[in-house]
Structure 1
Amino acid sequence: MTTLAAVAVTTATFLGMEFVAWFMHRFVLHGPLWFLHRSHHVRHPHTFERNDFFFLFYGSLSMLLIIYGSDTKDFRYWMGIGIASYGTLYFFVHDVLIHGRMRFWRKSRNAYLRALNMAHKVHHKATRRDGSEEFGLLWVSPKYFMLAWRKPAPTRVLRQRSGSVSKV
């Protein structure tokens, strides 16, 4: 497989995963698998939630594609890389930035990331199977961009060693 074809397959898979994620979230997680996904929509004191098991499906699929395509680096390998890339980005954007499950990336001044965060917060207003909106991860409705551009970005407060505070 040529380098250009490998890049094309990886990119197409990565972009296609946004549709797959939206479809699965809308019709499967908020459908027959709500009993697992519900843990993600309600407050709880646990570090992990039942919803975290979904990464096993996509991680296993990615791993199998990479393993079975690795001998010849055929399309399966590059599809696995695309799924793994999407999963990695999903982890950092959804779990780290939006939900703050790790405390190293809490706020962003970037309008796109702020719009994405707003859309996700609207999605989580519904604590039941029905009534949610905004099911994707990377695609954001234009109305949230408008809100992000109108609402001022958060001001970062840097603490200096002497105890004084400066704004950036």
Structure 2
Amino acid sequence: MAEALHVFLFLAAFVAMEGFAWLMHRHVMHGVLWTWHRSHHEPRTGRLERNDLFAVVFALPSILLIYLGFHVSPWFLGPGLATAAYGAVYFLFHDGLVHRRFPVPIAGTSPFWARRIEAHRLHHAVRTRQGCVSFGFLWVRPVAALRAELDRRRVAVGEPAE
């Protein structure tokens, strides 16, 4: 029975990471730490960008939870591994599949991945911290709704809609 609970904790933490990632992206990356994230909305000039610092910062809680899972209580291990797994999937998807910073083993042409790639491209259609759409990763709204919202935001600030 304990094994099932550990699996549940892993899955619950993995799903919860989507909400955490959305909140961090929307309110921290496009908020107080825009100075780091801005590099991601501009053309890259080298292999790394200042935005890559977020990967280091976001890895720390996972490392801590995994450490606690081995040295304090096994109940920390599932959430720690889930956080690491979410980070790995995000890294492969975001940096590999969407931004093509390195080759990935999938084409991204399935409806599942194509929708996420298009949503992320719509997010990058705006190069400022305000006005962006689609801050999620695994859960994204329909692309048509995102396009309509982006057009509404552009019209509101005096830019032409596409």
TM-score (norm 1): 0.81
Is 1:7 equivalent to 2:7 in the alignment? Answer: yes
Structure 1: runs of 5+ lacking an equivalent: 148-168
What is the CA–CA distance in structure 1 between the aligned matches of 2:123 and 2:65, rounded to whole Å?
32
Give the superposition deviation at 1:36: 0.3
**Equivalent position of 2:109 in the other structure:** 109
**Equivalent position of 1:156 in the other structure:** none
Give the superposition deviation at 1:124: 0.4
2:71 is paired with a residue whose SS is coil
Larger radius of gyration: 1
Is 1:23 equivalent to 2:51 in the alignment? Answer: no
Moved over 4 A (4+): none
Q: Quote the sequence identity (%).
A: 37
What is the CA–CA distance in structure 1 between the aligned matches of 2:79 and 2:57, rounded to whole Å?
15
> Which amino acid in the other structure matches residue 58 of structure 1?
F
**Equivalent position of 1:160 in the other structure:** none
What is the CA–CA distance in structure 1 between the aligned matches of 2:99 and 2:125, rounded to whole Å?
14
| Aligned 1:137-156 pairs, distance under 5 A | 137-143=137-143
* Residue deviations 1:131-167 (CA, integer Å, cap 9, x gap): 101001111212359x9xxxxxxxxxxxxxxxxxxxx
Structure 2: runs of 5+ lacking an equivalent: 148-162
Give the number of the structure whose residues are more often helix, by fraction. Answer: 2
Question: How well do the aligned residues superpose, as a CA RMSD in angstroms?
Answer: 1.9
Aligned pair count reads: 146
2:32 is paired with a residue whose SS is coil
What is the CA–CA distance in structure 1 between the aligned matches of 2:144 and 2:6, rounded to whole Å?
34
Cα pair 1:17 1:83 within 8 Å, conserved? yes
Is 1:46 equivalent to 2:51 in the alignment? Answer: no
Say if 1:38 and 1:65 are closer, same or farther in 2 by CA, change over 3 A.
same
Give the superposition deviation at 1:35: 0.4
> Which amino acid in the other structure matches residue 90 of structure 1?
Y
What is the CA–CA distance in structure 1 between the aligned matches of 2:48 and 2:129, rounded to whole Å?
20
Is 1:119 equivalent to 2:91 in the alignment? Answer: no
**Equivalent position of 2:99 in the other structure:** 99
| Aligned 1:53-92 pairs, distance under 5 A | 53-71=53-71, 74-92=74-92
What is the CA–CA distance in structure 1 between the aligned matches of 2:127 and 2:102, rounded to whole Å?
23
> Which amino acid in the other structure matches residue 28 of structure 1?
V
* Residue deviations 1:61-102 (CA, integer Å, cap 9, x gap): 101110112136522111100100100100111110000010
Say if 1:44 and 1:143 are closer, same or farther in 2 by CA, change over 3 A.
closer
